[in-house]
Copies of this chain bind each other. A is one copy, B any other.
Amino acid sequence: MARTSKKRGKPSEPDPAFVERLERAKAASVAQLLFKCARLLNEQALARLDQPPGAPRIRPAHTSVFPHLDLAGTRLTELARRLGISKQAVGQLVDELEQMQVLERVPDPSDGRAKLIRFAKHSGASLLDGLAHLGRFEDELGEEIGAQRMAALHDGLGALLAALEGRGPS
């Protein structure tokens, strides 16, 4: 970092309007924080599960499914609608989670075409235990940064999400 270099005459680059635009471009601070946090949070949360390296692992995309699952079971199409992605994409996620015995598909008694997707109530589902453990992770972080801040974060994110959903997709 030995910036012993030259600055002859001019003080580098004065250009004021340029610098302003530039600072603007750099200033996506909340968005940047959001990204980094999301990335790190996912990363570390999943690292906690320390799953076998070779076998199919639970990946970030999988976790997004859980909050949309009803206890009684939810249809694939409904899941796709809630997640805002294609049925096929959900199907793949469910396939993998089923293989890991985290979820299970049962035929919908009220519709022969449909299947209900729900948590497997399989006793050996240690992965599900691991997932539950992830809730703890959040609690820990809450302790670390303070419950109040965590609550504010929850509130702010909720509002932000509402604002975002309110504009984009229309």
Most chain B CB neighbours (cut-off 10 Å) among A15, A60, A69, A138: A138
Query: Number of copies of this chain in the oligomer?
Result: 2
Q: Taking the complex as formed, is A150 at the interface, i.e. its CB lies under 8 A from any CB of chain B?
A: yes
The residues of B that contact A13 with a CB separation of less than 8 Å are 71, 121
> Could you jot down 30 A-B contacts, CB within 8 Å?
A2-B110, A5-B109, A18-B121, A24-B131, A24-B136, A26-B67, A27-B135, A27-B138, A28-B135, A28-B138, A29-B138, A30-B153, A30-B154, A31-B41, A31-B134, A31-B138, A33-B158, A34-B41, A35-B38, A35-B64, A37-B157, A37-B161, A37-B164, A40-B164, A44-B167, A141-B164, A152-B153, A153-B156, A153-B160, A156-B156
